[in-house]
Amino acid sequence: NAGVTQTPKFQVLKTGQSMTLQCAQDMNHEYMSWYRQDPGMGLRLIHYSVGAGITDQGEVPNGYNVSRSTTEDFPLRLLSAAPSQTSVYFCASSALAGGIHNEQFFGPGTRLTVL
């Protein structure tokens, strides 16, 4: 199993550009999510999904879109990049048993800089 994979590892964008951060998992997990991590802020949830075709907003969804067309993939789209979106982005997945997460598996992260 590759676990959770993310691409790219690093990205530099100019203000106003758009891009898609890719996330894939091969563990057949129902739940997938995107977090951003900023110094002193811990992890903040952007969007999450409990299955193919189902997505919902987290704590900081503005400026980001997601879709979940398959169980494996959960891409995050930045619509018009802003310097405030400079951050490290983590994708995570987990199995749900009666609504309880057993363990979250995290990808290695994408380090994004917006100039």
Partner 1 sequence: GNSVTQMEGPVTLSEEAFLTINCTYTATGYPSLFWYVQYPGEGLQLLLKATKADDKGSNKGFEATYRKETTSFHLEKGSVQVSDSAVYFCALSDQGGGSYIPTFGRGTSLIVHP
Query: x-or-dash pattern for partner 1, window 15-34, by CB under 8 A?
Result: ----------------x-x-
Tokens of 13: 């964008």
Query: Nearest CA to 74 among 95, 88, 91, 94?
Result: 91
Name which position in 1, 14, 28, 42 contacts partner 1 (CB under 8 A).
42
How many residues bind partner 1, per CB under 8 A? 26
Tokens of 72: 């494996």
For residue 77, the one-letter residue type is R
Contact 72, 22 (CB under 8 A): no
86 binds partner 1 (CB under 8 A): no
Closest approach of partner 1 to the CB of residue 90, in Å: 6
79 binds partner 1 (CB under 8 A): no
Q: Which helix (H) or strand (E) holds 105?
A: strand 105-106
Q: What are the beta bridge partners of residue 65? A: 77
Nearer to partner 1, 83 or 108 (CB): 108
Q: Which residues bind partner 1 (CB under 8 A)?
A: 4, 31, 33, 40-43, 45, 48, 50, 58, 90, 92, 94, 96, 98-104, 106-109
